[in-house]
Structure 1
């Protein structure tokens, strides 16, 4: 996979945005954050889809298996409303759930809003892809990514993805000393 272009998937889950009734702010916020975080060359693979579990599942599978995105970020559909099914779709397509991501994102979000306890976002692994559900609000996307992203590059190393390098002036990735690229 190292010789392939690095692809990162961005999925906005929103009935209104998918119908063009509402401007997608979450997808662009995720992409802008990643542009600041990564120094590698990478290409975005973006989708704006409705809150339908089957559609979310097929989109995540397409981005992981077909597009071979090493990282897939979703925004929207993680609350308690009836149509919020992004976590269920993510769990259905992942082989492993990484509970620490959700715990950390909720913990940091609680510093800003008490309703963070209503968030049900999760993260997991599908093949060689890390999938992370993020909140829908652009500022919360940045807060949550800042909280969990230091672990993302090493996680992607562990699932045999590309070596992601970060702009240390923006965010530091943590890797054990034995996992640093210069020693690989």
Structure 2
């Protein structure tokens, strides 16, 4: 259990937030009147008061809102909680959606003391139920609420698609299939066949948004710009060869050209990344090979579920 130390708001982006001590958090938006509210996954930012106190002991002297945070809470180390954790504060229910953030430009705090804790200690959440949060309120890590769905992201690699020269049909088809299977699709991304760009997106998703599954489509063949497997291997902690082998085996029963696919399946942190071919038909055929089995593997990645050889009750 934690205690709210500050509720901070800024009415314009690019301006420092100030402690308003009490605010209304609106479902599907965030803190009412805050410039960073909206229909997206980073509606509310939170940081631990304990982390700010330790930072100020270095001589930083930061005030509430200086890191761009909406809520400061003492007694909860948000950085240690997994994405998907639900927090309650009075009537308000928040769900964590991202841990940390990429720092594009060094802020005034960094310029002063050579460090800033928000990129590594701050977390973000969306508002699931509206209500007021005020200084002194107690915040709890929720238990017994609706079971969190598996989270997935879809990345389409296509030069023509990213340039608007061709409609992307594979990405939406994959996302639709995932949703039908009960997944929450947190992001659908369309980018050109650029190895560096794909690596950047995979790292961002795995290290900040923590989906259980990422499916890529495109860039797995023999063409000079087909670099999806190389980018995927570059960010991997380890391979999941069986998934890629199952896809190729199943596809070979349909067409011998499946042997030309170089798609990989790897694990980064607690996320499984699987490369799929570029066409919608081939994507669906590939998903047929693993969709009924993969959930068990995703549970094992999260540290839940039994061993593969456990008897089924």
Q: 1:20 aligns with which of 161, 164, 184?
A: 164
User: Which residues in structure 2 correspond to 1:103-182 (within 5 Å)?
Assistant: 103-160=245-302, 176=308, 178=310
Separation in structure 2 between the aligned mates of residue 73 and residue 123 of structure 1, nearest angstrom = 9
User: Which residues in structure 2 correspond to 1:39-58 (within 5 Å)?
Assistant: 42-58=184-200
Structure 1 position 7, deviation (Å): 2.8
Q: 1:34 aligns with which of 151, 169, 178?
A: 178
Q: Deviations over 1:14-73 (max 9, x none)?
A: 1110111110111001011112222x6x23311101111100100111111122111100
Residues 18 and 50, structure 1, Cα contact 8 Å, conserved in 2: yes
1:10 aligns with: 154
Separation in structure 2 between the aligned mates of residue 122 and residue 145 of structure 1, nearest angstrom = 14
Q: Tell me which stretches of 4 or more aligned residues in structure 1 moved more than 2 Å.
A: 1-7, 174-180
Residues 179 and 185, structure 2, Cα contact 8 Å, conserved in 1: no
Residues 240 and 265, structure 2, Cα contact 8 Å, conserved in 1: yes
Residues 178 and 185, structure 2, Cα contact 8 Å, conserved in 1: no
Residues 222 and 260, structure 2, Cα contact 8 Å, conserved in 1: yes
User: Which residues in structure 2 correspond to 1:43-122 (within 5 Å)?
Assistant: 43-122=185-264
Separation in structure 2 between the aligned mates of residue 118 and residue 161 of structure 1, nearest angstrom = 35
Residues 13 and 77, structure 1, Cα contact 8 Å, conserved in 2: yes
Q: TM-score, normalised by structure 2?
A: 0.50
Higher helix proportion? 1
Q: TM-score, normalised by structure 1?
A: 0.83
User: What's the Cα RMSD here?
Assistant: 2.4
| Residue 96 to residue 30, structure 1, CA distance change in 2 (3 Å) | same
Of structures 1 and 2, the one with the larger relative CO (CA 8 A, separation 6+) is 1
Pairs aligned (count): 169
Higher strand proportion? 2
Q: Deviations over 1:79-127 (max 9, x none)?
A: 0111000000000001011111111111111122221110000101000
| Residue 58 to residue 106, structure 1, CA distance change in 2 (3 Å) | same
Other structure's SS at 1:33 match: helix
Structure 2: state its 5+ residue gaps: 1-81, 86-95, 97-147
